Amino acid sequence: MMASMTSDDRAAWEAEYAEARLRDVDFETMSGIPVDPIHGPGPYPGQYPYTRGIHASMYRSRLWTMRMFAGFGTAHDTNLRFKDILANGGTGLSTAFDMPTLMGRDSDHEWSVGEVGKAGVAIDTVDDMRDLFADIDLGEVSTSMTINGPAAIVMAMYVAVAEANGVPRSKLAGTIQNDVLKEYQAQKEYIFAPRPSMRLVTDMMRFTAAEMPRWNPVSISGYHIREAGSTAAQELAFTLANGFAYVEAAVASGLPIDDFAPRLSFFFNSHLDFFEEIGKYRAARRIWAQWMKERYGATNERSLLMRFHTQTAGVSLTAQQPEINIARVAIQALAGVLGGTQSLHTDSYDEAHALPSEKAARIALRTQQIIAHETGVTNVADPLGGSAYVEWMTDEMEKRAEEVFEHLLELGDGSMLEGVYEGIENGYFVGEIADSAYRFERSVNSGRRIIVGVNDFTDGDDADGSNLLYIDAGVEQEQLGRLGAVRQNRDSDLVARCLDSLAADAAEPDVNLMPGFIDAVEAHATEGEIVSTLEGVFGTYTEKAIV
Amino acid sequence: MMQDPIRIVLAKIGFDGHDRGLKVVARLLRDAGFEVIYLGLRQTTDAVVAVAEQEDADAIGLSIHNGGHLTLAPRMVAAVAERELEVPVIVGGIVPDRDIQALLDSGVAAVLGPGTSAADVVAVVRTTVAPE
Amino acid sequence: MSLRDLTVPELLDEARSGDRRAIGRLLTLVERGGEAADQVAKLTHPDAGKAHVVGITGAPGAGKSTLTGRLAAGLAATGHRVAVVAIDPSSPLNGGAILGDRIRMDEPIHATEGADPNNVFIRSMATRGQSGGLAVAVPGAVRLFDALGFDPVIVETVGVGQIEVDITAASDTTVVVVTPGWGDAVQANKAGLLEVADIFVVNKAERPGASDARRDLELMLDLGGHPAWRPPILMTTAVDNVGIDEVSTAISTHLGHLRESGEIDTRRGVRARSEVATRLHAFLLTRVDETMATTEGEQVLADVDDGTVAPVEAAHRLSNYI
C-alpha cells in the first residue's frame, strides 16, 4: 500500500518536474558529481500536504527573492533609493515607514518629534506617496509595504497615486503586511481595538479580491511574535492561528475561501536553533494545507500552499563583538533556505546598535548570494527531508502547535477567530510570550545557555558604533514644511465632507471603508486626520498589563 | 523592621512599541523583591511623573529602543524636575556607548545599554536609589 | 524642600494644601506601618468619616481595573475628587510585585472630557506578605484620603484570598464583578464574595452567556429571602463605557439606603471594631516577637532546645511578660 502510493507520488512528481522551467545552471556538486533534484520519501515537494515544499522543482526553477528593506527620510530620499534599486535590475520595492506613519499619526503630532523619517519614510498625505513613487511605473514593479494599523489608508494613497498616473488598480502588484492581530500579541503598533481593526483588514481583503487581483492583502507574520520572545513552536502556532482567524473573518464577511486564500502569504523569523527552525517551516506548510483543505474546505490547490518570507532574527544579534553577527545571520539564512522560503531578508551585523550602515547591509545581501550560488544547497528540494531528526522535529512542532490551536478553539467556543480575540483580551498571547522571553533571559543569566561574546568568549569586544547611520534632523523640518503646505493649499471644505462621510461609513459595519479612504486621501486629507475620524467611531485601545 | 521594598515605575514613552526588554526587567526586579509599577507602552512624560508622584516611587525606569534617547530622556528628567520630585531616571534599551555620557550629563542617573546582565540591572537600580 | 525631611504634621499640611507629592509620601508611611503610620492615623481620624468607601472586587480578568477607571473618570468629570487604592498580590517567593492595574485606570481618566486628572489619586499597593499588614495599611490609606477630602474612596482588590475579601467587605458599598461563562459565579461563591456583595456587575455583557450569569445571580439572591436591600445586578461593557453610569447611580443609591436605614453606622461601627481587633492582633504579634528576644525569652527557649521544658510550658511562662 505504502509502496504503491509512494511510486504514484513519484510518477506525479516526475510529471510535474518535467514541466518546470529550470534555471540555466549546472545541477552538480562542486566536484562535478551530478545530483538528482529530490531524495528521500514522498509525498514529494509540490505534493499535498507540502511538508517538503510548495513546488516540485523548488530553487532549481527560481531562487528565493532576496528582498531587502528600504525606507528613510522623506519620500524624495526614499524615491532616489528606489530608482537606484530599479536601475540595478531590481523589480521589487520594499517600503519601511517611520513610526508616526505606522501609528497613524502625522509628522506634526506631539509624539512625532524625533521620529520623523527615522526608521522609515514619512508619509502624511497622498502628496508624499506621489513623491515616493515619482518616475516609477507602478504597473511594472511589485511593491511591498510594511504597515499594519493604518494599512488601509496607506493602501488607498497608493491606489490614488497609481490611478492619477494612469495605472488602473487592477494592474497593481504587491503585498501589504496588514496583519493587525500580531500587533496586539507582539509588535504593539495597534490603533483601534481588535474587532474594528479586523474590519479594516477584511474590508481590504474584499476590496483587493474584487478589484486588485495581483495584490496580497495580508502577510501573516510570526516574525514579530518571535522577536518579542516567543519560542519557535509559539511563533508557529500563534501565526497560523492568526491565519485561520483571518480566514474565518473573511469568510464571515462574505468572501468565498478560494477567492482570497491564494493571496494570503506568511512571514517567519529564522533564529539560531538550526533544526528547530527547519522543522518549524516544514510543519507550517503541512498544517496550513491540512487545515485549509479539511477544516475550511478550500478546493483550489493554490489556497493550500503556504508561501512565506523569512527574516533572520534581529533579536539574536549581539551588541558585543558585532562582526560575529555575520556568522549568526549566515546560519539563520541557511535554515530559511533549507526550510523552503520564498523570499529572504538578512539582517545587518550592526543592527543591535542602530539602523544598518551601507556596508553592513551589503554584507547581509552577499550572505544570501553565497548561499544561493556557492553552497550547492539549491540543487535539491528539501534536502533534509527523510532525516530522522528533521522529520521528528517537524512532527514535534506540529504537535505543539495543535495543542495551542486546541486551547484557542476552546477559548473561542469552536471559533478560532473568537479564540484569538479572547486570547488577546485575556492576555494569553502576551503572557505566553513574556514567559518564554523571561525563561530565555534567565537561562542566559545563569550561564546555562551560552551566547558567544555576551556571557562567554567575551575577549575582543571592540564595538565602537562609530559607523552607524544617523538620520539628519533636517528631515523632520523638511517634512513639516511639506505637510504644512498641503494643509494650506487643499480644499478644506472638501476634506471636511470626506471625513464626515467616512465617519458615517465607519458607523455602518457592512460598508466597505476603502472607497471612502480613497476619496479622502484624494482630497489630501492626512493620515492622522483619517485615523482621528475613525477613532471618533471606533475608540482607542489600551492593552492590559501582562508582564 | 523590614526594609521597604524599592518601588520603581517602568514605562516607555511615545510610539516605541518594543516592550520585550521592559517586561524582562520588570520580572527581574520583582524577583529581586522590588515593587514594580508597570505602565508599559505609549506613556507621556507628564503621565509618568504624575504616577511617580502618586506612587511615591523611588525611581523611574525608561526603556527606549527607537533611537530617541537623546531627546526623550532629558525631557523625562526635565518633567521630573519641574514637579520638584527627587526621583532618579534610569534609561535602558538601545543606547550606543557614545551617547551614554551625554545622557548622564543631561541628568539621567544611570544607563543600562544593550547586553546588560540581570545582576547588573538589579545592582544598578539598587545603588541608584540608595547610594552607599 | 525635600519631603524626606518633613515631619508627619508638616506633610499633612502640605497634603491638605494640595501637594500630591506629600500625599504620596504619607501613603508610603501608612503602608510601612510603625510609629509614623500611627501618627498619621491619629491625626487624620478627626477629619475622616465623610467619604463613601466603595470596594470593587472580582475574579482576575473580570475587568475590575477598567470598570474602576471608567467610574473614577465619570466621577471626576462631575466634580468629585476620587481616590483609588488598587491592591495586587506580592510574590510569596521573593516579596516583589508587579503592579499593573493602573494602566487601565489612568487611560479613561485622560480620555474623558472634563475629568481633571488632578482630581483623581490612584495608589497601587502590594499585599507584602501575610502578616496582616495590609489589613491595617488599607484602612489607614482610606482614612488619609477621606481626611483630605477625597470622596468616594475606591478600594480595588482581586477577589481571591481571605485578606482581600475581608478588605473589600470593610467598605460601605461592595461591588462584585463577574463575567459571563460557567464557573465565574461558582468561583465567586467559593471565595465568599457573594455574601458580601451590595451590587453585582456582569461585565463583558456583550458576550454570550451574560444573561445566564444574570439569571444565576438572580436565582441565588432569591434563595436569600427578602433582605431590606436586594443587590441589583447591572450589565456593563466597561471597555466600551457601556453601563458605567448605571453602576455609578447604583453605588450612590446604595449609600442613600445605608443612610436612611441607619445601617451606615452599624457598618462603620463593625469596621472600627474590626480595626481595633486587627491592630491588637498586630500589636500582640510584635510583643510576642519582642518577648521571645528578651533575656528571659532566650533562656526559656534554650531550655526548650535542651528538652528540659515543654513548648506549652514555655509559652505559659513567657505569656506573663506580654
Residue B114 predicted with pLDDT over 80: no
A463 touching B (Cβ < 8 Å): yes
Return the closest-CA partner of residue A148 out of A208, A213, A114, A104.
Answer: A104
Sequence length of chain B is 132
pLDDT band at B65 (very low <50, low <70, confident <90, very high): confident
Q: What is the full DSSP assignment across B105-119?
A: HTT--EEE-TT--HH
> B98 or A331, which is more confident?
A331
Within an 8 Å CB–CB cutoff, is residue A546 touching chain C? yes
Q: Which residue on chain C is closest to B39 by alpha carbon?
A: C103
Flag whether A43 is in a domain: no
Q: Which amino acid is at A208?
A: T
Considering CB atoms only, which of A539, A542, A547 is closest to C104? A542
Provide, as residue numbers in chain A, all residues whose Cβ is less than 8 Å from the Cβ of C126. Answer: none
List CB contacts (< 8 A) between C240 and chain A: 539
Largest alpha-carbon pair distance within chain A?
75
- Cα–Cα distance, C57 to C36 (Å, whole number): 29
> Tell me, what's the pLDDT at C120?
97
Q: Which backbone phi and psi does A517 adopt, to 5 degrees?
A: -65, -40
Provide block-wise average pLDDT over 10 residues at a time, chain A (547 residues).
64 95 95 96 95 97 83 84 82 88 96 86 96 95 94 98 97 96 96 97 97 96 97 98 98 96 97 98 98 98 97 92 96 98 92 75 92 97 97 98 98 96 94 95 91 90 56 83 96 98 97 98 98 95 81
3-state secondary structure (DSSP) of residue C178:
strand
Upper half-sphere CA count for residue A326 (Cβ side, 13 Å): 13
Of C107, A97, A189, C115, nearest to B44 (Cα)? C107
The H-assigned helical ranges of chain C are: 8-16, 20-32, 35-44, 64-77, 103-111, 133-147, 162-169, 184-190, 193-196, 210-223, 244-261, 263-293, 295-306, 311-319
Please write the tens of the pLDDT for every residue from C217-234: 898 888 877 788 999 999
Q: Is C4 on the interface with B (CB under 8 A)?
A: yes
Is the separation of the CB atoms in A156 and A146 below 8 Å?
no
Q: DSSP assignment, residue A36?
A: -
State the smallest CA–CA distance between residue A351 and chain B in angstroms.
10
| Residue A543, min C-alpha distance to chain C (Å) | 8
Break chain B into its structural domains and give their ranges.
Answer: 7-116+118-123+125-129
Chain C CB contacts of B39 below 8 Å? 102-103, 106
Position B2 pLDDT exceeds 60? no
- Average pLDDT (C174-201) is 78
With 0-12 / 13-18 / 19 or more C-beta atoms within 10 angstroms meaning exposed / middle / buried, residue B46 is middle
Q: Is the peptide bond before A49 cis (omega within 30 degrees of 0)?
A: yes
Cβ C76 vs Cβ C111: under 8 Å: no
CA of C65 to nearest chain A CA: how many angstroms apart?
Answer: 9
User: Which residues, listed in sequence order, are joined to residue C153 by a DSSP beta bridge?
Assistant: C53, C83
- Give pLDDT, residue B67: 79
Cβ atoms of A317 and A325 closer than 8 Å:
yes
On the 0-12 / 13-18 / 19+ scale of CB atoms within 10 A, C20 is middle
Strand partners, A202: none
**Count of CB atoms within 10 A of residue A444's CB?**
16
Go through C237-276 and write b for each residue having 16 or more CB atoms within 10 A of its CB, e for each that does not.
bbbebebbeebbebbeebbeebeeeeebeebeeebeeebe
Q: Which residue has the higher pLDDT, A543 or C235?
A: C235
A537 touches chain B (CB under 8 A): no
CATH number at residue A197: 3.20.20.240
Q: pLDDT tens digit string along C171-184? A: 999 999 988 875 55
CA-closest candidate to residue B47, choices A327, A452, A513, C111: C111
CA distance A525 to chain C (A): 24
How far is it, in rounded angstroms, from Cα A395 to Cα A287?
A: 10
DSSP-derived secondary structure letter, A335: H
Residue A40 and residue A385 in contact, taking contact as beta carbons nearer than 8 Å:
yes
Containing A144, the helix (H) or strand (E) segment is: strand A142-146
**What pLDDT shows up at residue C62?**
87
The share of chain B scoring above pLDDT 90, in percent, equals 75
Q: Residues of B with CB below 8 A from A438's CB?
A: 23-24, 27
Q: 10 Å Cβ neighbour count for A359?
A: 12
A116 contacts on B by Cβ (under 8 Å): none
- Residue A357 in any domain: the answer is yes
Cα of C227 to nearest chain B Cα, Å: 40
Of the residues C104, C122, C156, C212, the best mutation for testing chain A's interface (the one with the most A CB atoms within 10 Å of its CB) is C104
More confident residue, C134 or A106: A106
Q: Which residue did the predictor score with more confidence, A469 or C291? A: C291
**Cell numbers placing B27:** 520580572
Contact A539 C101 (CB under 8 A): no
A454 neighbourhood in chain B, CB within 8 Å: 115
In the sheet that C153-158 helps form, which strands lie side by side, from edge to edge? C120-126, C82-88, C153-158, C53-58, C173-178, C199-202, C233-235
| SS3 call for A282 | helix
Name the region of A181 (left: φ>0; alpha: ψ -120 to 50; beta: rest): alpha
Q: Which CATH fold would you assign to the domain B7-116+118-123+125-129?
A: Rossmann fold (3.40.50)
> How many other CB atoms are there within 10 angstroms of residue A299's CB atom?
11
Question: For residue C285, how far is the Cα from the chain centroid?
Answer: 22
Output the pLDDT for position A402. Answer: 98
Integer CA distances (angstroms), C269 to A316, C70, C251, C260, in order? 61, 30, 20, 16
Answer whether B42 touches C (CB < 8 Å). Answer: no
A524: left (phi over 0), alpha (psi -120 to 50) or beta: left
pLDDT above 90 for C283: no
Set of chain C residues whose Cβ sits within 8 Å of the Cβ of B34: 96
Distance in angstroms between the alpha carbons of the first and the last residue of chain C: 42
pLDDT recorded at residue A469: 47
Cβ separation A545–C61 shorter than 8 A: no
Smallest CA–CA distance from B37 into chain A, residue: A545
Residue of chain B with shortest Cα separation from A318: B115
B116 inside 8 A of chain A by CB = no
Q: Does A542 contact C208 at a Cβ distance shorter than 8 Å?
A: no
User: Chain A interface, mutation test: which of B10, B12, B20, most A Cβ atoms within 10 Å?
Assistant: B20
- Cα separations in angstroms, A371 against A8, A328, A341, A351, B43: 33, 14, 13, 21, 44
Closest CA to A77 of A471, A357, A360, A485: A471
Record the cell numbers describing residue A395, joined without a space.
512532527
Question: Is residue A537 within 8 angstroms of chain C, CB to CB?
Answer: no
Tell me which chain C residues have a C-beta less than 8 angstroms from the C-beta of B30. 91, 94, 96-98
Within-domain flag for A466 = no
Contact, A163 vs A191, CB < 8 A? Answer: no
Sign of CA dihedral A247, A253, A256, A260: negative
| Torsion sign across C-alpha atoms C168, C171, C174, C179 | negative
pTM for the predicted model, two decimal places: 0.90
Residues from chain A contacting residue C61 (CB–CB below 8 Å): 426-427
A227 touches B: beta carbon within 8 Å: yes
Task: Please tell me which residue of chain A has the smallest CA distance to B70.
Answer: A114
**pLDDT recorded at residue A181:** 98
Range of the domain at A351: 58-445
CB-nearest partner of B38 from C20, C99, C117: C99
User: Do the chains contact at C104 and A427, CB–CB below 8 Å?
Assistant: no
DSSP three-state, residue A293: helix
The ipTM (two decimal places) reads 0.94
Total domain count, chain A: 1
How far apart, in whole angstroms, are the C-alpha atoms of residue A273 and residue A233?
12
Contact B91/C at CB under 8 A:
no
